[in-house]
């Protein structure tokens, strides 16, 4: 396990870590917003679980999961203004794209490769999100390309004088790609309004952190680009929200980018094509599941008096109805025409 213990602190020379008590103090979200944030996490988890069931049943070709990352993404998302800010996501960002306005039906149309899939019309692998309407930039499969591209979007916003911040996410493995370093360097030189979030789940498929980089914490990489590096417990949505809010405010002020490291764990194998038993112990997985972001964030809300059992039961039934509706809708939706397979592949 990382040094960020439950509740969210880490004392690391040179980088700032969010204190656990900070997570519940000085919050500008009311109880209704806190509940909506939690319901978003429940919805993402339920959709993700349904996707795996459909994969195992032979209906969904490929599943790549955000289970375990929901707290980090919900906390991040709530710090942005989704009516104007841009999201350049990575494949685990289901919670974020739902927050940015993608619907459960959209997600299931993607998972089941249907013609009506707003991401790619059913042509891309599931997990490659993109929507011009929602300001979600299409993801590419090569890891970390979005880190080089997001500063370009932020530069455009800056040149146009817009009050717009770009959020981009990547795994910790992606921080060893050249694109990551070029992107951070460029964004810092030009003080671009961008927030880089590394969702550190300790593995790049089977490769553990210590075989990926010689620093102990991803946030330390920020020092090389003269930007703040903040490490936060990604199981605690409120701690992430508070850290992200500061990064967004810094970007809006014109003070430039921030590197935010959210420490999480993925509960599933890397993808539906992976067997994680070959590289991590069941004990390790169980230890992290005890710190499921749904458990941690539920406890935070209950401590604030923002969530009762009855309210959560109502949320769960809304979530189930929504996931059932999305599944039925997408299963009944038409597949793309075979000739559409080459749309946008060759010049028309």
Ligand X SMILES: Cc1ncc(C[n+]2csc(CCOP(=O)(O)OP(=O)(O)O)c2C)c(N)n1
Catalytic center residues = 266, 270, 279
Query: Is 172 near ligand X (CB under 6 A)?
Result: yes
Q: Answer whether 75's CB lies under 8 Å from 240's CB.
A: yes
Exposed e or buried b per residue across 299-310, where buried means at least 16 C-beta atoms within 10 angstroms of its C-beta: ebbeeeebbeee
Residue 21 per-residue DSSP state: G
The residue to which tokens 């927050």 are assigned: 99
Residue 45: closest CA among 266, 308, 245? 266
Among positions 118, 171, 256, 293, the unique one binding Mg ion when judged by CB under 5 A: 171
Which positions ≥6 away from 68 have C-beta within 8 Å?
A: 201, 264, 265, 266, 267, 268, 288, 292, 293
Residue 171 interacting with ligand X (CB under 6 A) = yes
Near ligand X by CB under 6 A, which window of 22-30, 43-51, 141-149, 253-261? 141-149
- Residue 129 touching ligand X (CB under 6 A): no
Number of residues that bind ligand X (CB under 6 A): 15
189 binds ligand X (CB under 6 A): no
* CA gap 18, 25 in Å, rounded: 12
What burial letters (b/e) apply to 146-181, b meaning 16+ CB within 10 Å?
bbbbbbbbbbebbeeeeebbbbbbbbbbbbbbebbb
Q: Which residues in 236-275 contact ligand X (CB under 6 A)? A: 270
73: contact with Mg ion by CB under 5 A: no
In the complex, what is the shortest distance from the CB of residue 144 to ligand X, in angstroms, rounded to a whole number? 7
What is the rounded distance in angstroms from the CA atom of residue 291 to the CA atom of residue 297? 10
Closest by CA position to 62, among listed 205, 269, 267, 271: 271
Q: Is 141 in the site for ligand X (CB under 6 A)?
A: yes
> Which of 142, 178, 208, 254 lies at the binding interface for ligand X (CB under 6 A)?
142
- Provide, rounded to whole angstroms, the least separation between the CB of residue 270 and Mg ion: 8
Name residues contacting ligand X, limited to 11-30 (CB under 6 A).
Answer: none
CA distance 133 to 110: 16
User: Footprint of ligand X on residues 84-113 (CB under 6 A)?
Assistant: 92
CB closer to Mg ion out of 75 and 171: 171
| Of residues 197-226, those binding ligand X (CB under 6 A) | 199, 201, 203-205
CB of 205 to Mg ion, least distance (A): 8
HSE-CB at 27 with a 13 A cutoff on CA atoms is: 23
Query: Among 149, 166, 201, 258, which residue interacts with Mg ion (rule: CB under 5 A)?
Result: 201
Chain positions contacting Mg ion, by CB under 5 A:
171-173, 201, 204
Chain positions contacting ligand X, by CB under 6 A:
92, 141-143, 170-174, 199, 201, 203-205, 270
């Amino acid at each position: 396990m990382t040094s960020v213990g439950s509740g969210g602190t880490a004392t690391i020379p040179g980088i700032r870590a969010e204190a656990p008590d900070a997570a519940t103090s000085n919050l500008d979200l009311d109880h209704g917003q806190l509940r909506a944030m939690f319901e978003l996490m429940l919805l993402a988890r339920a959709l993700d679980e349904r996707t795996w069931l459909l994969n195992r049943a032979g209906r969904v070709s490929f599943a790549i999961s955000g289970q375990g990352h929901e707290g980090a993404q919900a906390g991040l998302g709530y710090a942005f203004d989704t009516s104007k800010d841009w999201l350049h996501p990575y494949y685990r960002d289901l919670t974020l794209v739902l927050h940015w306005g993608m619907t459960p039906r959209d997600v299931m149309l993607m998972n089941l490769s249907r013609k009506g899939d707003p991401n790619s019309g059913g042509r891309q692998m599931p997990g490659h999100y993109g929507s011009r309407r929602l300001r979600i930039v299409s993801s590419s499969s090569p890891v970390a390309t979005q880190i080089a591209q997001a500063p370009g979007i932020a530069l455009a916003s800056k040149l146009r004088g817009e009050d717009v911040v770009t959020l981009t996410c990547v795994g910790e493995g992606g921080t060893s790609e050249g694109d990551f370093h070029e992107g951070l360097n460029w964004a810092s030189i030009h003080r671009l309004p961008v927030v880089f979030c590394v969702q550190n789940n300790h593995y790049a498929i089977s490769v553990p952190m210590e075989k990926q980089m010689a620093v102990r914490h991803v946030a330390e990489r920020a020092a090389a680009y003269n930007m703040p590096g903040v490490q936060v417990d990604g199981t605690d949505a409120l701690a992430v929200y508070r850290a992200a809010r500061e990064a967004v405010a810094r970007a809006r002020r014109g003070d430039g980018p921030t590197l935010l490291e959210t420490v999480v764990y993925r509960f599933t194998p890397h993808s539906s094509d992976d067997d994680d038993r070959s590289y991590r112990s069941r004990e390790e997985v169980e230890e992290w599941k005890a710190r499921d972001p749904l458990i941690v964030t539920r406890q935070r809300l209950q401590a604030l008096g923002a969530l009762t059992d009855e309210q959560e039961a109502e949320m769960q039934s809304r979530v189930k109805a929504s996931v059932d509706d999305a599944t039925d809708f997408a299963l009944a939706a038409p597949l793309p025409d075979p000739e559409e397979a080459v749309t946008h592949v060759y010049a028309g």
